[in-house]
Every structure is written in C-alpha cells, then in structure tokens.
Amino acid sequence: MLSGIDHDAGGGALDALVRTLRTAGLAYDHALALRPNAGVPSGLDLNGNGRRGEPEDALGYGRFPGAGGLVVLTRWPVTLAGDYTDLRWSQAPGAALPRHEDGTPWPDPESAATRPLPSVSQAIVRVAGPWAHPIHLLVLAATPPAFEGPERANTLRNAGELGLWADHLDGWRDGEDSIPGDAWSVVIGTLNVDPADGRGDRAALARLRAHPRLQDPVPRNAGGALRGARDGGINLAQSGDPAADTADFREDRPGDPGNLRVDYILPDARFAVQAAGLAWPETGRRALVWVDVTSP
C-alpha cells in the first residue's frame, strides 16, 4: 500500500506507477486505486474561518479532488470489499465530534452533519492468493492530529478513524459490509499517531495496537536512531524508540515534532511474523514499512 498517490478518474497515475515499477523489476499484476475525500469540494466553510473553497474546506484536506490518494499493489487478484470513505463522521460508532465551548457543533450544524469521517480513504481490500482464506487489508491514511484550534477537530477525527477499525474488528458493521467476522485482517496505513511522542489521542492508537485480533511487530531500522541522533534537537528529548520511527518531520522551527512512528502494519494475530523492518531512502523523509508473515 502506498499513500500520497494522486487519484484520477481514468487511472492514469496508477497505470504509470505500475509501468515504472515493472521496468525496475517489480511486477505487480493487480492494482487498486482508492477514491479519496481529499480535495473534494464540500461547498461549506468546514474550518469555520468565514471563507469557502479553501483546501481546508474540502471533505478531506486537499488542493484538488483526488490529491494524495491510496493505492494497493499486489501479485494476486484484489477487490474492494468494503468502503467507509463516504461514512459521515456523525454516523460513526461512538462519534466524538468537535464542539464549541457552549457545546454546539463546530463550526456549525450543517458542516458537522456533512463532514465524512475519513479524510482520505478508509476501505477493506480483499486479496485472494494461494492460501486457504482471502486476506482483508484494512486500509487508511488518518488525519494528522495537528493544524487545529481549541476544538481539536483533527485530533478527534484521527481518533475516530483509528477507532473505526477497532470497532469493525469488535463486530461493528454497516449495511453494505459482508466481511466475515473471523476473516484474516491486516490494518495497514498511516495512523499518524506515535505511541510515545508528538500529538494525538494515544488511547485510540493503543486500543488498535492492543486489539486481540491483531499484533504489532514494531518494525525497526537503526537508521532511524541515527537520524535522531544527528538532529541534536527535539529527537533527543523524545521517549519513544527512535529505531521504530517511520517519518522525519523536522522543519527546524518551533513546534517541530521531530521523527515519529506514524506508519503501521498490524497483522492478524493468527499470522506468524517471520521478520519486520523499515527501509529508509538515503534522502527520503518517510520509511517503507515491511512485515513478512506466514499464514496458519
């Protein structure tokens, strides 16, 4: 699964990506692009600043429809088995929506009723390979819990997106979801919360990481620790394991969160993890996360 891949109606971006990977010897015969909320105009003032039509007023932050979507590349047939991208935040289980100090919906009732829970995409992707049962990838790229005011809209939205997969694994379903309760499931994507450092609702993250149907192998790479040591600033004051960090958010300005673990693969607890790690590009700001498993 790759994030930050722009989504277009004709699938040209995905086709170009698949062709490019094939020339590098990485042949993925099956691919799926997930339609994102990013950049989709809402027609409303979703950030409550008195103006409409800004990137913050889209259903998910974005400067144009389809900005920064998600794609899944596999060697086996892949289908979209369930899609929560259109799920209204107000209709999600245990929805905790942002509110003004007086308890009224933020920024206004119409916006609160319109905003979807996923800021990008949140879907169940079925991969049918040479094993006894299909694997269901629970895919998402959650809202960064930052760039917000006292209403904590992005922190609450992020917690809701993480909570949706925990609720799904607990048995919650919407009317169109036909995924069996005992299906092999893997949560994969950008959760945008670090277990120990930075901002966000760590209780929502902990609930998902500790879910009895999942396991967290905590992929590591010593390169992450070296990056943190070279920083000489915020990273040295952090309490989390720097070798598990997946993103370099250093901007050399006040409020810089430093390196954080925000990208996860949480395999089904029934899988046997053989190995896990991170691949840091020499000049990149994000690591590739990988986990090798064998099925029961």
For residue 214, what pLDDT is reported? 97
Q: In total, how many domains does the chain have?
A: 1
Please indicate, yes or no, if residue 210 is contained in any of the structural domains.
yes
Please indicate, yes or no, if residue 292 is contained in any of the structural domains.
no
User: Is residue 107 reached through a cis peptide bond, with omega within 30 degrees of 0 on the bond before it?
Assistant: yes
Residues 176-203 have pLDDT tens digits of 555 676 789 999 999 999 999 999 999 9
List the one residue out of 208, 210, 212, 167 whose CA is nearest residue 188.
Answer: 208
Please indicate, yes or no, if residue 247 is contained in any of the structural domains.
no
Residue for token pair 């790690």: 277
Amino acid at 216: D
For residue 8, what pLDDT is reported? 93
Instruction: Give the integer Cα–Cα distance in Å for 201 and 218.
Output: 19
Please indicate, yes or no, if residue 233 is contained in any of the structural domains.
no
Torsion sign over Cα 173, 176, 179, 180: positive
Please indicate, yes or no, if residue 71 is contained in any of the structural domains.
yes
List the one residue out of 125, 142, 130, 265 whose CA is nearest residue 183.
Answer: 125
Range of the domain at 115: 2-214
Please indicate, yes or no, if residue 271 is contained in any of the structural domains.
no
Please indicate, yes or no, if residue 30 is contained in any of the structural domains.
yes
Please indicate, yes or no, if residue 285 is contained in any of the structural domains.
no
Residues of the chain falling short of pLDDT 50: none
For residue 239, what pLDDT is reported? 86
The per-residue b/e assignment along 24-62, b for 16 or more CB within 10 angstroms, e otherwise, is eeeebeebbbbbbbbbbebebbbbbeeeeeeebbbbbbb
For residue 94, what pLDDT is reported? 87
Which pTM does this prediction carry? 0.93
